[in-house]
Amino acid sequence: MHGAVTETSAAVHPRSARDLDAATPADRDRWVDALRVGSLFVVVLGHWFMVALTPSGQISNTLAILPSLQPVTWLLQVMPLFFLVGGIAHAHSLESLAARHPDRTGRYAAFVRSRAERLLRPTFAFLAVWVGLGVVAHVTGLTGRSGGDSDGALVRSALVMVPQLLWFVGIYLGVCACAPGMRRLHARWGPAVPVALVALAVIVDVVRFGGGPELVGNINFALVWLALHQLGFAWRDGVLTSRAGWAMVVVGFGGMLAAVIAGPYPVSMVGLPGETVSNMAPPTAALLAQGIGICGLAVVVRSPMGRLLTRPRAWKTVLAGAPFAMTAFLWHLTALLFALMVLRGLNIEQPEVGSIGWWLSRPLLVAMLAVVTAGLVGVFVRFDRAGTTRPERGVVATRRRHGEGRRGWVDLLAGVAALVIFFGVLIVSVAGVDVLGNRPVFFLLGEVTPAIGLVVLGAGVGLLAVTGRVDQAADQSAPAAVRTAAIAD
């Protein structure tokens, strides 16, 4: 978000709660910061509770074993909140960028690069480790063991299941790439834009479930998450009043209930193994309705939560967790798989899911996983912090070279790069990271493999790097006075 207190400075330079509170600008929306941190940590805890291991070494889902728990996802599916917060943050960044540099040339490329670097740097660290683990597992023959071997089954499942969380990185990067254009649409049409996106998402589902091609449902990967992201622009501009929030709660949750009861949608708002229809992949109108409802709930409680977060200790808690949220998200399933394998190695059997022993053991398991995750975060958080670039920096020379050699094509190339990265990350999230086993899986129109996903991802990053080199060359060739003015900005 914005303001003088940054996530990294709060963590690296510990200060008292009162000092941090006093250093925070009065206009900072603390509830937005809390939503960002809280939504990711809720996802972490949810995954820890949901993942179950069968005696045969297969990874299953507690919600599939205990369907009566599935309605809890109506409140605990919090990914819509992260896209809402993303819209708020992007609105601020784009406003700041436009104010500093009115000329659009190069602005889009700088914006996309800054967002991609922020997300891909910790993601590459994650992939490096898991690709390495996959190579070791393949070379040692662990992944090639027969289907009856429980350890081999667990490792094969892990090499696919753990990277699945990267779907969020891919989708979020895609939404980031669309943010400047969607912001312009918001400036012109306001709330009509999310309304139109919702209507289009419903039409997509009508076609999909009405006998149309299954492939058409994938359009909702864009429509659903862009609609929720668009609500962040409305929040930023003050459109989402408490009254609007209550309307979102009623319409959103009411629409979700109607869709689940009368429509073809499952009860769970998270994906479950063996489902014929998932509300997540591709996202459905039911998930969009749930997202509108929970975002409305965030609007409704904004004032009381804002007052709570004016308390120094509460605000310090948010600032303390903020620098680690993304790293914890990336590594929490690694911690879970490590713990499960250790327990198997010690011949400690897990209680039957849903039994009293299972419920009683959850706090202990969560505490153990928190310790393991904290260790992983301590090692890998450096990749989430280092080298953050300001989106404005790469625009300065492009705008100030007295109109010579304008490189507007870098913006187009940045858009292409973002699209390629989007597909690369999604392919990896579907196919996994066993590059030597390289087992094919179906994705959109045909079969893909982990190696294909990594190659596509690398190609997208390479294209985006070209735009950075162009701006760097422009900076170096600019007159000294221009470079000085750029630094002053």
H or E, element range at 184: helix 166-189
Which residue from 172, 182, 179 is spatially nearest to 120, judged by alpha carbons? 172
Percent of the chain with pLDDT over 90: 56
Identity of the highest mean pLDDT range in 86-100, 398-412, 421-435:
421-435
Which residue from 241, 313, 221 is spatially nearest to 16, judged by alpha carbons? 313
CB 326 within 8 A of CB 40: yes
Q: Write the CB contacts of 216 (distance below 8 Å, at least 6 apart in sequence).
A: 204, 207, 208
The whole-number pLDDT of residue 17 equals 65
CB 44 within 8 A of CB 78: no
Binning pLDDT at 50, 70 and 90, where does residue 147 land?
low
Average pLDDT of the residues in 246-257: 97
Give residue-wise pLDDT tens across range 322-376.
888 899 999 999 999 888 888 877 887 778 888 898 899 889 989 999 999 999 9
Higher pLDDT, 393 or 344: 344
Alpha-carbon distance 411 to 105, whole Å? 7
The whole-number pLDDT of residue 439 equals 84
Count of CB atoms situated within 10 Å of the CB of 487:
9
Average pLDDT of the residues in 58-81: 91
Average pLDDT of the residues in 22-39: 84
- Looking at the DSSP bridge assignments, the partners of residue 13 are none
Does 481 have pLDDT greater than 60? no
Alpha-carbon distance 350 to 368, whole Å? 14
> Residue 52 has which token pair?
């179950």
Does 82 have pLDDT greater than 70? yes
Identity (one letter) of the amino acid at 342? V
Alpha-carbon distance 85 to 365, whole Å? 30
Does 61 have pLDDT greater than 50? yes
Average pLDDT of the residues in 375-394: 72
Alpha-carbon distance 349 to 344, whole Å? 7
Q: Write the CB contacts of 199 (distance below 8 Å, at least 6 apart in sequence).
A: none
The whole-number pLDDT of residue 9 equals 44
Higher pLDDT, 212 or 16: 212
> Residue 440 has which token pair?
């094919």
CB 139 within 8 A of CB 445: no
Alpha-carbon distance 40 to 37, whole Å? 6
- The least confident of 49-58, 102-111, 427-436, 447-456 is 49-58
Alpha-carbon distance 31 to 40, whole Å? 14
3-state secondary structure of 280: strand
Binning pLDDT at 50, 70 and 90, where does residue 404 land?
very low
Give residue-wise pLDDT tens across range 209-228.
999 898 999 999 999 999 99
Q: Write the CB contacts of 121 (distance below 8 Å, at least 6 apart in sequence).
A: 383, 384, 386, 387
Alpha-carbon distance 389 to 393, whole Å? 8
Give residue-wise pLDDT tens across range 425-473.
999 999 999 998 878 888 888 889 999 999 999 999 999 999 887 665 5
Binning pLDDT at 50, 70 and 90, where does residue 397 land?
very low
The whole-number pLDDT of residue 477 equals 53
Compute CA distances 4 → 20, 54, 284, 295, 323, whole Å.
Answer: 10, 49, 39, 27, 15
Identity (one letter) of the amino acid at 116? A
Residue-averaged pLDDT of the chain: 85
The whole-number pLDDT of residue 15 equals 64
The whole-number pLDDT of residue 470 equals 67
Convert 126-146 to b/e letters by CB count within 10 Å (16 or more is b): bbebbbebbbebbeeebbeee
Distance of CA 444 to the CA centre of its chain: 21
The whole-number pLDDT of residue 250 equals 97
Which residue from 260, 196, 266 is spatially nearest to 226, judged by alpha carbons? 196
CB 422 within 8 A of CB 81: no
Dihedral pair phi/psi, residue 52, rounded to 5°? -125, 150
In the chain, domain spans = 76-141+163-176+315-338+366-489, 190-308
